[in-house]
């Protein structure tokens, strides 16, 4: 990581799917020279911005990272020295924006592909950590663009909403796939019939940041009854993994739904535990 003087880094003059060389970006951002962004990760001083410069086909004498795009997902190996691993992995917590410049060959200019949302992070000690990001260009939508001359606001809003809805559905599908991969069966009961299990957000979708929406640790794989009660804040889980039942329902009603006070989560990763603390404090209905 190379930190440079505090300059405002703006993406106002950076266009999605447009190619840029490092010298061009240096001029746009008013940096001292291309050396400021010569590395794979650039973190401007005093800004909640992380910029990745990713090359698929690298020079023969460079570190052989396995970085590539498959569909709308970036598979990226972090820095050899792990310098920015934790900051990138916690970007959604710290409100950091992660931007991607990507090129297929090391002789090509970089194409700006927009914002990234972390899907999965595997920390490694003896080799680069592994990251998966959803390429989420729609997060760059700026309502001020509606005021541009020649654009019909009604048409523009309609198309944008449609794109956002499609993007949200794709994100939810990806979230479900991640939970199935992670849990294999219901997080509580162990039921394995995946087509009846639901991907439940711990911190609700509507209240989550872009990163939190797709963070597999912000989810449980639940049977329909558990999913409904958990979503409504009628059940939650303690730090010791045990279920907590709200007084919103009588004991016989829980029994009819197949829910009992002996239930517990099969496991509880630390990051999931942090989300559950939010669920207990904000979503759960104690009375």
Could you report the per-residue pLDDT of 204-228, keeping only the tens digit for each? 988 888 778 888 899 999 999 999 9
Neighbours of 99 (CB within 10 A): 19
If you average pLDDT over residues 142-155, what whole number do you get?
40
What's the chain's average pLDDT?
83
Share of the chain above pLDDT 90, in %: 44
Say how far apart CA 277 and CA 283 lie, in whole Å. Answer: 10
Who has greater pLDDT, 287 or 74? Answer: 74
The SS3 assignment for 6 reads coil
| Helix (DSSP H) and strand (DSSP E) numbers for the chain | 8, 12
Range scoring the smallest mean pLDDT among 3-12, 39-48, 79-88: 3-12
CB crowding 17-45: b at 16 or more within 10 Å, else e: eeebebeebbeebebeeeebbeebbbbbe
Pair 135, 114: CB distance under 8 Å? yes
Owner of token pair 């794989």: 221
Q: Return the top range by mean pLDDT from 159-163, 215-219, 242-246, 254-258.
A: 242-246
pLDDT of 45 above 80: yes
Task: Output the pLDDT for position 81.
Answer: 84
Who has greater pLDDT, 20 or 196? Answer: 20
Write down the pTM of the prediction. Answer: 0.50
Who has greater pLDDT, 193 or 143? Answer: 193
pLDDT of 152 above 50: no
Q: Can you list the domains of the chain with their CATH numbers?
A: 19-140 (2.30.280.10), 153-283 (no CATH)
Share of the chain above pLDDT 70, in %: 83
Who has greater pLDDT, 153 or 252? Answer: 252
The SS3 assignment for 19 reads strand
If you average pLDDT over residues 135-150, what whole number do you get?
43
DSSP per residue, the chain: ----S------TT--TT-EE-HHHHHHHHT-S-GGGG-SSEE--TTSSEEEEEEEEE--TTS-----EEETTEEEEE--TT-TTHHHHHTHHHHT-EEEEEEEEETTSPEEEEEEEEEEEEE--SSS--EEEEEE-GGGG--GGGGGSTT--HHHHHHHHHHHHHHHHHHHHHHHHHHHHHHHSS-TTT----GGG-EEEESS-GGGS-HHHHT-GGGEEEE-HHHHHHHHTTSEEE-TTSBEEE-TTS-HHHHHHTT--TT-B-S---HHHHHHHHHIIIII----
Who has greater pLDDT, 93 or 187? Answer: 187
Task: Output the pLDDT for position 156.
Answer: 42
pLDDT of 133 above 50: yes
Task: Output the pLDDT for position 139.
Answer: 38
């Amino acid at each position: 990581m190379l930190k440079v003087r505090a300059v405002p880094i703006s993406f106002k003059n950076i266009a999605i799917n447009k190619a840029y060389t490092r010298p061009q970006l240096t001029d746009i951002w008013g940096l001292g020279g291309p050396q400021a962004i010569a590395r794979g990760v650039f973190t401007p001083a005093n800004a909640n911005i992380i910029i990745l410069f990713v090359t698929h086909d690298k020079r023969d004498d460079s570190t052989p990272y396995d970085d590539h795009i498959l569909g709308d997902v970036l598979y990226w190996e972090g820095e050899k020295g792990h310098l920015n691993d934790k900051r990138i992995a916690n970007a959604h917590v710290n409100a950091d924006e992660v931007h991607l410049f990507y090129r297929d060959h090391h002789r090509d200019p970089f194409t700006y592909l927009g914002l990234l949302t972390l899907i999965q992070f595997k920390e490694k000690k003896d080799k680069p950590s592994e990251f998966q990001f959803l390429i989420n260009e729609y997060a760059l939508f700026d309502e001020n663009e509606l005021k541009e001359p020649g654009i019909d606001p009604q048409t523009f809003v309609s198309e944008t909403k449609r794109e956002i809805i499609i993007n949200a559905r794709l994100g939810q599908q990806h979230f479900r796939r991640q939970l199935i991969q992670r849990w294999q069966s219901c997080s509580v009961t162990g039921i394995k019939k995946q087509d009846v299990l639901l991907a439940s957000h711990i911190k609700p979708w509507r209240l989550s940041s872009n990163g939190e929406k797709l963070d597999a640790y912000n989810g449980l794989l639940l049977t329909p009854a558990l999913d409904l009660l958990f979503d409504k804040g009628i059940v939650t889980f303690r730090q010791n993994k045990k279920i907590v039942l709200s007084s919103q329902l009588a004991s016989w009603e829980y029994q009819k739904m197949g829910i009992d006070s002996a239930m517990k989560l099969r496991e509880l990763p630390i990051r999931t535990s942090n989300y559950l603390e939010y669920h207990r404090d904000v979503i759960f209905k104690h009375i």
